[in-house]
Amino acid sequence: MTNFDLVPNRRNSSNSIKWALYPKDVLPMWVADMDFPAPKPILNALHKAVDHGVMGYEMPSKALKETVAARMDSLYGWKVKPEAVVAVTGIVSGFSVAARAFCTPKKGVLLQTPVYSEFHEVKTNVGIPQLDAPFIKHVNGNILNYEIDWDIFEKQARKAGMFLLCNPHNPLGIIFSRKELLKMAEICIRNNVLMVSDEIHSELLLDDNKFIPMAKLSPEIAKHTITLIAPSKTFNVPGLFCGFAIIPDGELREQYEKEVGHSRMHVASLGLIAAQAAFSGKCDGWLREVSRYLAGNRDFLVEYVTEYMPDVRTTIPDATYLGWLDFTQTGIKDSPFEFFLKKGKVAFSDGKIFGKDGEGHIRLNFGTSRKLLEQGLERMRKALRSI
Ligand SMILES: Cc1ncc(COP(=O)(O)O)c(C=O)c1O
């Protein structure tokens, strides 16, 4: 059994973006990595590679592609051919490459907002229009729920070359249902829109929630979909920069691989080694434990907010370690991000980087020990009392 209550000190012992960006008196609860060490089988595989001593160029092996394909089969019964698996240096580079290959200045990228900040960077990095399909927000007591606005989705799809789906959704923690995915796919295929499904959080499921990959739904949908997965969020190895694009359609894959080649995206050998161990099944016990711990943190967060900060609204995420909090009813004048940084000495992710509809909100990373989560919430509560 792993004791997730004990987290290593990351402030003094690394150049962690999360822990080093803000002054020492600020508790960081922002960028999406967890404070837990990676599972032992990954660490052992990395130790072995380091002990060997030669760090030469490596390529993704046939065995690794087979391991990725086998994982899709064992998790979802999704039959993927190993040759459909393309290694990429990460998911952000993976979807940026897709946008470069498949969008044009006339056919932009469709996003469901609020959504992961890097999705919003594609338009400027690639030079294409961004088409937003904001969710409809519902408030029930202090609980937030978000629903797809199908009219806007369809209207924007008509102008898009690519739909960048985030499933499970960052920052909202939604796992889309079969029915929703089928409807998105139907609209995209009818409008000749390529689907790029960012499924980086797909194994971080809380409670007994189930996940369905978009491309698993039908061979026709798989033909129009690029699926992006990685061990990085699930097993907490994001600094090793290794992910995979799964592209069943040969022609689509060829175009994508060409763009990957142009971008000179070579995955570091240690990333490939970690991915092999991560997807081998040897880390699944750890994954069950961490998911249980994260579900406990999610419950703690929701109960704390409901009991001590009733004016604050929160999602109840079904996946990820990300909470989404709404402060628009609290009397905070400016951005809650600035407010909590100054008054509470706690750093969240500013809601506005997830889209205009994220103003007045913050994203809270609860991938940490219960004790640090409680400290962060206490700092928030104390700051709110000062209004
Ligand atoms: C939805 C989503 N996609 C991609 C990433 C980052 O992926 P990578 O570090 O592999 O580029 C994140 C990180 O938070 C994320 O939440």
For the chain, the residue count is 387
User: Does residue 116 have its Cβ closer than 6 Å to ligand 1?
Assistant: yes
Instruction: Say whether pLDDT at 195 is over 90.
Output: yes
Beta-bridged to residue 162, according to DSSP, are 109, 194
How many CA atoms are closer than 13 Å to the CA of 215, on its beta-carbon side? 26
User: Using one digit for the tens of pLDDT, what is the confidence trace for 90-99?
Assistant: 999 999 999 9
- pLDDT tier at 338 (50, 70, 90 boundaries)? very high
Nearest residue to 353 via CA among 377, 339, 335, 327: 335
User: Does residue 305 have its Cβ closer than 6 Å to ligand 1?
Assistant: no
Give the pLDDT mean for 323-343. 96
| pTM confidence score | 0.98
Instruction: Say whether pLDDT at 334 is over 90.
Output: no
Provide the pLDDT for residue 97.
97
Q: How far is the CA of 328 from the centre of ligand 1 (A)?
A: 27
User: Does residue 213 have its Cβ closer than 6 Å to ligand 1?
Assistant: no
CA-based Rg of the chain, rounded to a whole angstrom?
21
Provide the pLDDT for residue 150.
98
Provide the pLDDT for residue 77.
98
User: Does residue 270 have its Cβ closer than 6 Å to ligand 1?
Assistant: no
Instruction: Say whether pLDDT at 16 is over 90.
Output: yes
Ligand 1: nearest atom to the Cα of 89:
10
Is there a contact between 302 and 341 (Cβ–Cβ < 8 Å)?
A: no
Give the pLDDT mean for 130-139. 98
Amino acid at 258: K
The strand ranges marked E within the chain are: 27-28, 85-88, 108-111, 130-132, 136-140, 143-147, 160-166, 194-198, 225-229, 243-246, 313-314, 322-326, 346-347, 349-350, 361-365
Provide the pLDDT for residue 13.
74
Name the closest-CA residue to atom 13, ligand 1: 32
Q: By percentage, how much of the chain surpasses pLDDT 70?
A: 100
Nearest residue to 216 via CA among 76, 387, 75, 81: 76
Provide the pLDDT for residue 296.
98
User: Does residue 128 have its Cβ closer than 6 Å to ligand 1?
Assistant: no
User: Using one digit for the tens of pLDDT, what is the confidence trace for 137-181?
Assistant: 999 999 999 999 999 999 999 999 999 999 999 999 999 999 999
User: Using one digit for the tens of pLDDT, what is the confidence trace for 71-85?
Assistant: 999 999 999 999 999
Mutate to test the pocket of ligand 1, among 200, 242, 366 (most ligand atoms within 8 A of CB): 200
Identify the H or E element spanning 74: helix 62-76
